[in-house]
Amino acid sequence: MTEALLAQRPIVMGILNVTVDSFSDGGAFLEFSAALAHAREMVASGADIIDVGGESTRPGAERVPVEVEQQRVLPIIRELAAEGVALSIDTLNASTAAEAVRAGARFINDVSGALADADMARVAAESGATYIAGHWRGTSATMNEFANYDSVVVDVRNELRLRVDALHAAGVPRERIVLDPGLGFAKNAEHNWELLAQLSTLVGDGFPILIGASRKRFIGALLPTEANMVERDVPSAVVAALAVNAGAWGVRVHDVRMTKLALAAQQKWENAR
């Protein structure tokens, strides 16, 4: 089934944050029953993959002990995997990735591209899971210090190529690698928009590209300052549809239903052409 998902376009990945401090919904789904209910709702709305994370990677977030992260995510992964849900583990930690795959996850979503944990590339190779490598230049505490580029598109492309080379050298087959330009990670709003506007450049390298723009700060900047997080879902869905139109393999989103509607409209447009 994982191979079918990699061949399918577009993929909608629903975000399940089992955390206390995620930027948009921290604490909302910390309880086991609430997390399961939200995951099932996203699946019913059309999510192809549920991305389960137990540690926030927002700017300024503090690291969570690995044992706490695993206590949060593993029971949920086991339960949803038993229901046949395609799952991704959103983690920086190799041991969490390994345990999550054993529990039923088919994707490892590592925003650091295996830079945060030296053992991650080995785990990715041995696990058989598809590995999503994000563009990363530092931890949540330091990333904003590294938002300096000669050309953000060229630099991100080259740095992702280096991650591909390192992963392949560690034994991860190229056909099991997905790339994520890391919107918001060591990037300001202008960097994010430029990467989106020139997404075809990244797509041109031949790897599936995952875009995670949903509810991020640069999306919120389009709205009045008093707007809440949910109000970011409309522009997030528009960006998701535009990203898919530019060749993205998938989009990682909070509001699956709205995103699916936007993608349905985008597909109708394309079909009519």
| Residue positions annotated with a catalytic role | 216, 252
Residue 183's φ and ψ, nearest 5 degrees, are -55, 130
- For residue 106, give every residue at least 6 positions away whose Cβ sits within 8 Å of its Cβ, in sequence order, or none: 1, 2, 5, 49, 86, 87, 88, 129, 130
Beta bridge partners of 246: none
- Residues 70 and 52: beta-carbon distance below 8 Å: no
- Cα 108 to Cα 118, 177, 235, 246: the distances in Å are 15, 10, 27, 24
Closest CA to 39 of 50, 23, 24, 28: 50
Residue 208 CA to residue 227 CA, distance in Å, equals 33
Residue 89 CA to residue 92 CA, distance in Å, equals 9
For the chain, the residue count is 273
- Residues 97 and 127: beta-carbon distance below 8 Å: yes
Residue 231 CA to residue 182 CA, distance in Å, equals 22
